[in-house]
A and B are shown apart, each in its own frame.
Chain A
Amino acid sequence: MSGNVLYDAPGPKTRRLERIGSIVFAVILLGLLAWMIKGMADRGIFDDRWAVLTDPPKGQDAEDVWKSLLVTGLGATLKAAVVAAPLALVLAFVLAILRTSGVRVVRAVAISVIEVLRGLPVLLMMLFALLAFGLSSFQAVVIGLTLYNAAIVAEILRAGLAALPKGQAEAGTAIGLTRGQTLRLVQLPQVVRLMLPSLISQFVVLLKDSSLGFIVGYPELLNAMKTNYNFFGSDSRLPLFLVVAVVYLTVNITLSRLAVYIEKRLSSRGQKPVATGLATPNLGKTKV
């Protein structure tokens, strides 16, 4: 585990102390939790507000509520993500190839484009598309997600290209392939495999960012939730919020686990993109 570098393997006495300390803190934390739940219970969170999920008032069906969240809402969220992700990947390939071009001007242009796209909030890009170009909210969400993630994925691909053994590109040149062919036939297929974990975690970021559609008026999951609680009244906010949170957590944690699993499989086969400290970009570790 993470901590064991810092102290000796504990003896029986320390272990007992640790167990007691651990239990004490667990009791304190659970106590805090209980106190919070008690506070909320006094304000009535265990009253009939949960009925909105099972037997909603105002003559609605529970089925309709769930459908509006999971089919319409989640569907729209996934639609934006699934449209934006391939577009971002294509654009990222273009940017990464230009970024590693032999021509200095091309490289400089690619670097500036990537830096500008990485440095802007996704929401501002969506507003740009919405207000300056008068696009629909769906188009604005897709464009914002595409542009931002293209820049990030381009950097992931570049790091992958840098981490690939030099011999790969040289072998391509040696058998008479052009630079484009070497990239397409030799390098990029390996880079995508190598960087698959990073690409999947970036997809999680993209999925999370699709929730910005809430602000630009795209009827995705969060907006579906809002529509519901505006209809059922403010008491229904907590139950509906918890459903949406659990949906997001389930989807994202599953994808993150998948990324970790693939990473483990790749590294157990000895395919790990760690050649130098420089090769793994710090952006890969800090996806916020």
Chain B
Amino acid sequence: MQALVDELPRIWQGFQLTLFLAVVSGALSLVFGTILAAFRVAPLRSLRTFAGAYVEIARNTPLTLVFIFFVFVLPSLGFILPLGRVPAIIALTAYTSAFVCEAVRSGINSVAVGQAEAARAIGLGTVQTLRLVVLPQALRTVVPPLINVLIALTKNTSVAAGFAVVELTSTSRALARDNPADVVMLLTGIAVCYLIITIPAGIAANAIERKVVFSR
């Protein structure tokens, strides 16, 4: 127990970095993922194909491999990124955007066809149909899966531990090395840090989902 109290500052530092990675790449993924989703429902075939290919590749590649690309492969081609947070954020964003895209797209598709048809019948254009009728409804169905994507992102920030970023999981390794007698206690402390983020977020996602289902 004493070891846990003594190491609290280091755990706190790791926690902050984990949160930083999750928030920054989360925000970026939401932006890029939504743009990708717009591409996927666009009338232009080339955009649809591009976004579809990107999503298919990103979703079927392990995140570790994405990290390896940005940390080891790109520099070997002469594109030197600063080590640490920057490639981690790029890798997490590139990977998570694909999942955001799928969540947003399935949200758009979940709005019943009749809604858009009714909107067109009363003379709304494409943009008005989207803005006034489809998106407000899509947004509600999209929020729970998006929260789940962000939960997964929070857990995925741990992969950065393998690539010179001292976030929570990486901290746990250092703590275990420095306090061989209290490894279980310290790792449990680290685990609690993750659960503080993921469990409340999961409960929120479920609560919102239940509400949305009933309002349909």
Q: By the criterion CB–CB under 8 Å, are A285 and B106 in contact?
A: yes
Q: Is residue B205 contacting chain A, with contact meaning CB distance below 8 A?
A: yes
Give chain A's interface secondary structure class: helix
Q: Is residue A84 contacting chain B, with contact meaning CB distance below 8 A?
A: no
Q: By the criterion CB–CB under 8 Å, are A116 and B195 in contact?
A: yes
Task: Report which A residues bind B (CB closer than 8 A).
Answer: 1-3, 5-8, 10, 18, 21-23, 25-26, 29, 40, 43, 45, 115-116, 118-124, 127-128, 131-132, 204, 208-212, 214-215, 222, 225, 229, 234-235, 237-238, 241, 244-245, 248-249, 252-253, 256, 276-278, 282-283, 285-286, 288
Known contacts A131-B173, A235-B76, A248-B60: A286-B148 contact under CB 8 Å: yes
Q: How many A-B residue pairs have CB under 8 A?
A: 194
CB proximity of A12 to chain B, nearest CB, Å = 14
Q: In whole angstroms, what is the CA distance A278 to B99 when docked?
A: 21
Number of interface residues of B (CB under 8 A): 78
Q: In whole angstroms, what is the CA distance A245 to B202 when docked?
A: 32
Q: By the criterion CB–CB under 8 Å, are A123 and B158 in contact?
A: yes
Q: Is residue B24 contacting chain A, with contact meaning CB distance below 8 A?
A: no
Q: By the criterion CB–CB under 8 Å, are B202 and A119 in contact?
A: yes
**Residue in B61, B116, B210 whose beta carbon sits within 8 Å of that of A249 in the complex:** B61
CB proximity of A90 to chain B, nearest CB, Å = 24
Q: By the criterion CB–CB under 8 Å, are B187 and A127 in contact?
A: yes
**Residues from chain A with Cβ under 8 Å of B190 in the complex:** 124
CB proximity of B91 to chain A, nearest CB, Å = 13
Q: By the criterion CB–CB under 8 Å, are A121 and B158 in contact?
A: yes
Q: By the criterion CB–CB under 8 Å, are A209 and B205 in contact?
A: no
Q: By the criterion CB–CB under 8 Å, are A6 and B183 in contact?
A: no
Known contacts A7-B43, A124-B191, A286-B152: A212-B60 contact under CB 8 Å: no
B195 to A, closest residue via Cβ: A119
Residue pairs across A and B with Cβ atoms less than 8 A apart, 11 shown, are A21-B44, A25-B44, A26-B46, A45-B77, A124-B168, A124-B190, A234-B76, A241-B65, A241-B69, A282-B209, A288-B156
